[in-house]
Amino acid sequence: MQIKDLAFTSLQLLRAAIFDRELFSLEIYGHIIGMFELNNLDLVVASPVEDYFLYIDDRPSSEKEEAEKVTRPILDALRDEYAVICEGSAFFPLQSCMNHSCRPNAKAFKRDEDRDGRATIIAQIPIRCGDEVTISYIDEDLTFEERQAALADYGFICRCSKCQEEET
């Protein structure tokens, strides 16, 4: 019920933001949120506010002074908060098209040093031309039964090489 309430509030805000009262139903919105949740990837983005202030710093002095009349009170109010990084999750079309394997040959992740909001896909083993690039949607160290249960949310029964070996 709490998640449904959150989805309802989120949909209300989205409708108000784009001035569309007939956008779509809560049920359809719930499906979209669910698909996003199954396909998203955690990421970190550098503070856009800090980028803006750095841009202002690089302006010619007369332009910079004019801009700082507006930005200085904002910067003073924010103190160190202006540089806070933004943590969240994002949907990457290419990564979300990659199929699952419990013995994946690649991994989608965010490196601690990445602040550009990009996804990183890295090969875990040499991948030959023509081989499918697979990632794991779940913790592949779980038992066969636990993996199958975790993958039920994705709507398929895994038949990867690891599952075929472990299925008895």
Residues near Zn ion (CB under 5 A)? 102, 158, 160, 163
Q: Shortest Cβ distance from residue 98 to Zn ion (Å)?
A: 14
Question: Cα dihedral sign for 123, 125, 126, 130?
Answer: negative
By beta-carbon proximity to Zn ion, the closer residue of 41 and 102 is 102
By beta-carbon proximity to Zn ion, the closer residue of 102 and 108 is 102
User: Position 17: which residue type?
Assistant: A
- Alpha-carbon separation of residue 157 from 39, 101, 150 (angstroms): 17, 11, 10
Q: Shortest Cβ distance from residue 155 to Zn ion (Å)?
A: 14
Contact call for residues 121 and 137 (beta carbons, < 8 A): no
By beta-carbon proximity to Zn ion, the closer residue of 74 and 125 is 125
By beta-carbon proximity to Zn ion, the closer residue of 45 and 163 is 163
Q: Cα 68 to the chain's mean position, in Å? A: 34
Q: Shortest Cβ distance from residue 157 to Zn ion (Å)?
A: 9
Q: Shortest Cβ distance from residue 100 to Zn ion (Å)?
A: 7
Q: Shortest Cβ distance from residue 12 to Zn ion (Å)?
A: 40
By beta-carbon proximity to Zn ion, the closer residue of 53 and 137 is 137
Burial of 121 (0-12, 13-18, 19+ CB in 10 A): middle
Q: How far apart are CA 115 and CA 51, in angstroms?
A: 12
Characterize 93-111 residue by residue with b for buried, 16 or more Cβ atoms within 10 angstroms of its Cβ, and e for exposed.
Answer: eebbebebbbebbbebebe
